[in-house]
Amino acid sequence: MTATTAIVGLGITDMGKIYDRSGADFAAEAVTQAVADAGLRKSDIDGLLVNGNLWPESQPTLQMTLGLEDLTLCSAMTAAGSTAGQLIQYATMAIEHGLASAIVLLFADVPLKRGVGSGAAYNMLDFWPMTGMSGLRLAWGEFGANPSYALAARRHMHLFGTTSDHFAAIAIGQRRWALMNPKAQIRKPLTLDEYHASRWVVEPLHLFDCCLVSNGAVAFVITSSERAADLRQPPVYVAGYGQGHPGDNQRRGRDPGVHTGAALSGPLALRSAGAALSDIDFLELYDCYTYTVLVTLEDYGFCAKGEGGEFVSDGKLAPGGSLPTNTGGGQLSSYYMWGFTPMSEAVIQMRGQAGDRQVPRNDLCLVSTQGGILNFHSTTILSKSR
Amino acid sequence: MAINPNGRPVPLPDDASAPFFDGARRGELMLQACGACGAWMWPVKPRCVECWSDSVHWRRASGRASVYSFAVMHGDFPGFVSPYVLATVETEEGVRFTTDLAGISPDQVHIGMPLTMVTEQLTPEVAIPGFRPVPA
């Protein structure tokens, strides 16, 4: 397939425990940066797609907040953490069909409040519905998203002998990448001892198995491949994509926590890109937990189901390894902007602008965005050439 | 949010879920099942998730289940004393959901552990099912 669109603009704000700025302020900075980065002006933008999230203003009304006028495409979309892929796909199809020509994709969030821990930011007490059987979740002591990933990880450990050391290999490898990323929230080395000594969040997940929580924003500009050739930055072409949403099959005979939608979305994306798994130079995988990386690698077919632990344990994902993965530190060590974390790092690497952490080969990248409790999955293949 | 005297969140039964909560008070695990194809469901569904029949009704399940996976909660959570065990349980009928396992220490729980349902009275008005190991 010849790529019809390219990511041409990128904006990333400062990230992390920044309490004195509003979500709108972060959003405006990221969008302004992304449009300037592309070499475009505000008046060139005719589309806005917002990643709907827990921030109440993540709505199409951001058009007014940002002062964008006469758009011909505007929506907020959500498929939980997988949304970044869907936004790129929808934008690409919209551009192919002439609905818009230069579209801003935006993620902004401000879950952290001064004096409140990161865990509390997502513990659901403020918003989880207590009516009917939905209310059983908190009544039965399941607070936040951590337990469901811990339960999935434990199941994988039980079935396949996966260990904490396997998870640690992912956490430590990604931290090594983060040391070279000026935007990373955590830039200090992580040892295996420190990993094991870190507190349990929800056993079997240690603190360093869990992603950060960040205030901040990321924006992209996407346009047609023709137009991209004349803009400021090296175009990052959207070469292929696919989605996979297995459904709620938490019942006998199914193991939803150890099989993700990547098994569906990966082959679709590779086929649309006309590429094979072996053509992929580096990976940016959604990593809300170390376990997510491990199970996603299996479902793409980099190794067989159940062998993810062994596969990652030789450090091949880390700097210098044969399969560079989450090369900015990922959500575990850089910043947590849902699917915009892997997608933003992919754009930086594809452009060759990653500085000390630049991967040796960057012709083709696979970006995986994932949401819910391993419920929703989207795969995007980015290419340096059309 | 309604909480009980221990600070534990209390669900608010509504018309759609009343049979479940009424059953819990009687010591019965009530689940939805399809009148057409027999599929069991969790939680309340508008139609059968297998065959889309609208003849979904409440049936008494056996109350027997087993541990499908488990995790140990650490931290400060309202109404719970950490560390405590959470488990995804699979009922004899084949549906799964995640519940706390009160009174089981983390080093006792294991995948496959047989469980039986008991009534967990949260407030005088609201009961929910709880799960305990089947005595050996």
Q: Which ipTM score applies to this complex?
A: 0.97
Does the pLDDT at position A126 exceed 90?
no
A164: part of which helix (H) or strand (E)?
helix A164-178
pLDDT digits (tens, 9 = 90+) for A173-204: 999 999 999 999 999 999 999 999 999 999 99
Summarize the confidence of residues A110-138 as an average pLDDT: 84
pLDDT-based confidence at residue B112 (cuts at 50, 70, 90): very high
Using CA coordinates, name the residue in chain B closest to A126: B1
pLDDT score, position A1: 66
- What are the structural domain ranges in chain A? 5-113+215-225
Q: Is B99's Cβ below 8 Å from some Cβ in A?
A: yes
Q: Which residues contact B136 (CB under 8 A, 6 or more apart)?
A: none
CA distance A125 to chain B (A): 8
pLDDT digits (tens, 9 = 90+) for A277-316: 999 999 999 999 999 999 999 999 999 999 999 999 999 9
The total of other beta-carbon atoms located within 10 Å of residue A148's CB is 23
User: Comparing C-alpha atoms, which of A323, A377, A344, A364 is closest to residue A239?
Assistant: A364
pLDDT score, position A124: 73
Mutual angle of helices A290-300 and A146-160, in 10-degree steps:
50
Does the pLDDT at position A317 exceed 70?
yes
pLDDT-based confidence at residue A127 (cuts at 50, 70, 90): confident
Summarize the confidence of residues A74-82 as an average pLDDT: 97
Q: Is B16's Cβ below 8 Å from some Cβ in A?
A: yes
pLDDT digits (tens, 9 = 90+) for A233-244: 999 999 999 999
Residues B100, A137: C-beta atoms closer than 8 Å: no
Cα separation, A192 vs A362, whole angstroms: 30
pLDDT-based confidence at residue A260 (cuts at 50, 70, 90): very high
Summarize the confidence of residues A116-129 as an average pLDDT: 75
For testing the chain A interface, which of B31, B41, B66, B98 should be mutated: the one with the most A CBs within 10 Å?
B98
The three state secondary structure string of A266-308 is: HHHHHHHHCCCHHHCCEEEECCCEHHHHHHHHHHHCCCCCCCH
- What are the structural domain ranges in chain B? 15-133
Residues of A carrying an active site annotation: 286, 336
pTM > 0.80: yes or no: yes
- Between the alpha carbon of residue A11 and those of residues A42, A89, A183, A196, B96, the distances in Å are 14, 19, 12, 36, 43
Cα separation, B22 vs B40, whole angstroms: 19
Q: Looking at beta carbons, which residues of chain B come within 8 Å of A154?
A: 69-71, 111
- Per DSSP, the three-state class of A242 is strand
Cα separation, B49 vs B40, whole angstroms: 9
Q: Is B98's Cβ below 8 Å from some Cβ in A?
A: yes
pLDDT score, position A116: 79
Residue with tokens 């947590």: A336
* CATH, domain A5-113+215-225, list 3.40.109.10, 3.40.47.10, 3.40.50.920, 3.40.50.720: 3.40.47.10
For testing the chain A interface, which of B58, B73, B93 should be mutated: the one with the most A CBs within 10 Å?
B73
- Between the alpha carbon of residue A186 and those of residues A336, A339, A353, A356, A386, the distances in Å are 12, 19, 20, 16, 35
Does the pLDDT at position A125 exceed 90?
no
Residue A31, class by beta-carbon neighbours within 10 Å (0-12 exposed, 13-18 middle, 19+ buried)?
buried
Contact between A221 and A40 under an 8 Å Cβ cutoff? The reply is yes
Contact between A343 and A87 under an 8 Å Cβ cutoff? The reply is no
